Amino acid sequence: MISNDTTRVSGSALPITAKTSSSLDPIIVAIEAYHAGNQAFKGCPDNLTEEEERALIAATYGPADDALRAWDQPAQTIEGAVAALKLAQLESHMFGASDVITSMINATLGFFEKQGSELPVTKVNRLAFELSHAMVDWCGDLSDGAGRPDLWKAHIFPASMTKWPVSFEHVGPPDPEDRIDILFHEWRNMRNAPILDDTGEQWEAHCARYSELQRRIEKLEPRTVTDLAMQYYALTDDQSNELSDEFEKRIYRMAGVDAAGAAS
């Protein structure tokens, strides 16, 4: 089993320091809006009329306060549950009792009650989604000296199958020249761009880059079905040309069969 604070990365242990994006949980978004509204309200003048104060509340923390008072959904993440509990604690210290305290405690309890009844497929999908967003910040923390985010890929297996069920593969900083989608969009833009001079140097440079992009797209290994579709579109020139033998062999290999259709 792996420990709570480390996981295996290319044969070594690496601390996990990622934060989950607040955009994952609506309750965090609502709480952040409430705090931001309160700060905006505090920065306003004190000598307001009652009507001006009501208008100011409606323009600052009022809508978020109403939303939190009426909140009837469980928090979706552990971060959301903690944020709701902290807000309930703050409201308790300030007001003693309020509808916000009740709704936030219910949202926290709802999160933990839901954990016990969550279907395995729902739980895996939720955790995978949270991990993918957490890795955005994590890869940013591992950026190089120039501030470019590093790129890692997660591999997750059932914990009962291996000693290291979670590992991360270093795939390096993303390079535009190694991305099929980036090369494809440049190629497609060139394909659709009007060429005013189809005989001189501009045309020769256009054709050279056009062919180079096709060669680069063919050379790269597709990482997604979309990548493969982009390769097919570019290499056949929108079905104007035949696929190369090498690309056809790659498709066969991906399908797990040989050129004759037999399982490989």
Position 60 pLDDT exceeds 80: yes
What pLDDT score was predicted for residue 52?
86
Determine how many CB atoms are found less than 10 A away from the CB of residue 205. 10
What pLDDT score was predicted for residue 5?
35
What pLDDT score was predicted for residue 90?
92
Query: Of all helices (H) and strands (E), which one includes residue 239?
Result: none
Among 33-37, 147-151, 222-226, the range scoring the smallest mean pLDDT is 147-151
Q: What is the four-CA torsion angle of 125, 129, 130, 132, rounded to 10 degrees?
A: 140
More confident residue, 164 or 174: 164
The token duo for 17 is 């320091």
Residues 112-136 have pLDDT tens digits of 888 777 788 888 888 888 888 888 8
262 falls in which pLDDT band (50, 70, 90)? low
What pLDDT score was predicted for residue 84?
95
- Find where tokens 């180079």 sit: 212
% residues pLDDT > 70 (the chain)? 80
The token duo for 112 is 């933990």
Position 247 pLDDT exceeds 80: no
Determine how many CB atoms are found less than 10 A away from the CB of residue 76. 19
221 falls in which pLDDT band (50, 70, 90)? confident
Q: Report how far Cα 5 is from the mean position of its chain's Cα atoms.
A: 22
What pLDDT score was predicted for residue 108?
94
